[in-house]
Structure 1
Amino acid sequence: MSHPHLPTPEEKLADAKQLLSLPRIVAICGSTRFMPEMTEADLRETEAGRIVVKPGCDMKSPHALWSDPVEAEALKVRLGDLHRAKIRLADEVLVVGDHIGDSTRAEIAYARSLGKPVRFTHPEADPDA
């Protein structure tokens, strides 16, 4: 006896985005040292008609929200969870910058594990190339 296919949450999301006629969604990843380059990539992707999600906090720059080291560590964990959610939401990932650190490497692996296409502003930086 055959069981009916129950769509996964990912399939439901893809169907909903299609029904809503949403443009492709791009998650920008990379070291926050490349925030100016991420802003430029955001501009170019937006001009090309894509919805862009990217890191919203540069914890390498001083700010009252992460001035306390204990609170900063907790925020870093929450921001990591939030960024993985952005990757799940996205149709593809764009990695910005010519350096891939451990966090970005993990984001690339996560995106690829979900079957998301991954593009690079600097293709030579692809850790799997």
Structure 2
Amino acid sequence: MADRPEIVCICGSARFGAEMSAANRELTFAGVIVVAPGVFLRAEDHEAAEVLTDEQKTALGALHLRKIDLADRVLVVNPGGYIGESTSREIAYARATGKPISFTDPV
């Protein structure tokens, strides 16, 4: 569909929330529609009351795969080449669905 902006799904570890936000901003100013993780809570960064349950983590993971479905391509934010377990799963899903994937750092 040529009459709409490109849609990019950002993937990456929650530890890179600031880097994902910067990529989101850059892409948005370039006229791209960005879909990205909506929750960046990590147990080591927050009080126990804010920690995600296993059910919430599972639901958010499934929701992110649907975001990949919506996207034209995937951008993996991976400073230093780091790719964690969840991001690896998202990359595998994107590859299986034929989405082009790019990385912010070499892997």
Q: How many residues align?
A: 103
Question: Deviating runs (4+, > 6 A) in structure 1?
Answer: none
Cα gap change, 1:30 to 1:51, in 2 (>3 Å): same
Q: Could you say what secondary structure the match of 2:9 adopts?
A: strand
In structure 2, the partner of 1:28 is 10
Query: 1:63 and 1:57 mapped to 2: Cα distance?
Result: 15
Q: What TM-score, normalized by structure 1, do the two folds share?
A: 0.73
Cα gap change, 1:85 to 1:65, in 2 (>3 Å): farther
For residues 7-86 of structure 1, what are the structure 2 equivalents within 5 Å? 18=1, 21-60=3-42, 61-62=45-46, 66-67=50-51, 72-86=53-67
Relative contact order (C-alpha < 8 Å, sep 6+): which is higher?
Answer: 2
Please provide the CA RMSD for this pair.
1.8
Whether the aligned pair in 2 keeps the contact of 1:66 and 1:72 (CA below 8 Å) is: no
Q: Could you say what secondary structure the match of 2:10 adopts?
A: strand
Q: How far apart are 1:64 and its partner, in Å? A: 7.7
Greater C-alpha radius of gyration: 1
In structure 2, the partner of 1:109 is 92
